[in-house]
Structure 1
Amino acid sequence: MTQQAAEELPGIAAEIVVHEGRVLLVRRRASEGQLSGQFQAGKIEPGESPEAAAVRETAEETGLGVVAVEFLGERVHPTTGRLMSYMACKVVSGTAEVMDTDELDALAWVALAEIPEYVPYGLFEPVQEYLDSTLKS
């Protein structure tokens, strides 16, 4: 994908939702390469901040009420070519469940040591550093 094509696509907010010593991973209905799990994520709508998109997308797809607590960084994703904004989020209400069955197939609360089983090629470094400091194994 060219840089220009990536810039024309909406950005993606990836939500790093940590609760009770685990991080939320979801499995999308449409397979995305080697992933069996990924962070909850969704398109940033025109005029919407990454923080607002993170809160909205998490509620729509998992039923969780969250607040964005820290911007972890952004990058052009090496596989998809999409601009990704990573937001650390804290659960404030609800119970995680698959709300958007068109998008999601399953979800799981995963311990730090289990993440490589779901994401075999490693995480964006600022996200890994955040999880290492937040989810001490």
Structure 2
Amino acid sequence: MTQQTAEERPGIAAAIVVHERRVLMVRRRVSEGQLSWQFPAGEIEPGESAEEAAVRETKEETGLGVAVVRLLGERVHPKTGRLMSYTACEVVSGTAEVIDTEELDELAWAALPEIPEYVPYGLFEPVQDYLDAALEG
């Protein structure tokens, strides 16, 4: 049995959805280690860009229609070992709710000072920098 490397497994696309100076957080039914609350995210499908996957996953999980603002960055996640891409998105339609009840338990719109309550181990620096700018005053 061989262990898959990050390159062999599909990457994960996360959507950093900002609306009215809050960021969308979702809580998984089954946490990945310490990861319970996170951004809407899922595997990038063949032929799909990271940005397209972030938009699709947000719609599938929360029913929210979003548009890409820009790709914030990529990294191998220190907790999961998966290749992650982070895409800033803005709301274009709908209201966020738990649509994918098999994957999600709850969602929340977090203000900047509340983010450490949801993600106590800190955020990927480009994501934190984007949220610092997008969620302030």
Same fold, TM-score > 0.5, yes or no: yes
SS in 1 for 2:27: strand
- How far apart in 1 are the matches of 2:121 and 2:24? 18
Q: What's the % identity of the aligned pairs?
A: 79
**Structure 1 residues 3 and 72, CA gap change in structure 2 (3 angstroms):** farther
Which amino acid counterpart does residue 38 of structure 1 have in structure 2? Q
- How far apart in 1 are the matches of 2:62 and 2:20? 17
Which amino acid counterpart does residue 99 of structure 1 have in structure 2? I
Aligned length: 136
List alignment gaps of at least 5 residues for structure 1. none
Which amino acid counterpart does residue 84 of structure 1 have in structure 2? M
For 1:85-135, what per-residue CA distance to the aligned partner results, in whole angstroms no more than 9, with x for missing partners?
000000000000000001100000000000000100100000000000010
SS in 2 for 1:102: coil
CA RMSD in angstroms, aligned pairs only: 1.5
SS in 2 for 1:8: coil
Which amino acid counterpart does residue 67 of structure 2 have in structure 1? V
Does residue 45 (structure 1) correspond to residue 51 (structure 2)? The answer is: no
Q: CA deviation at 1:31?
A: 1.5
- Runs of 4+ aligned structure 1 residues displaced above 6 Å come to none
Provide TM-score, normalisation by structure 1: 0.95
Q: CA deviation at 1:32?
A: 2.3
1:1-137 alignment, distance < 5 Å:
5-136=5-136
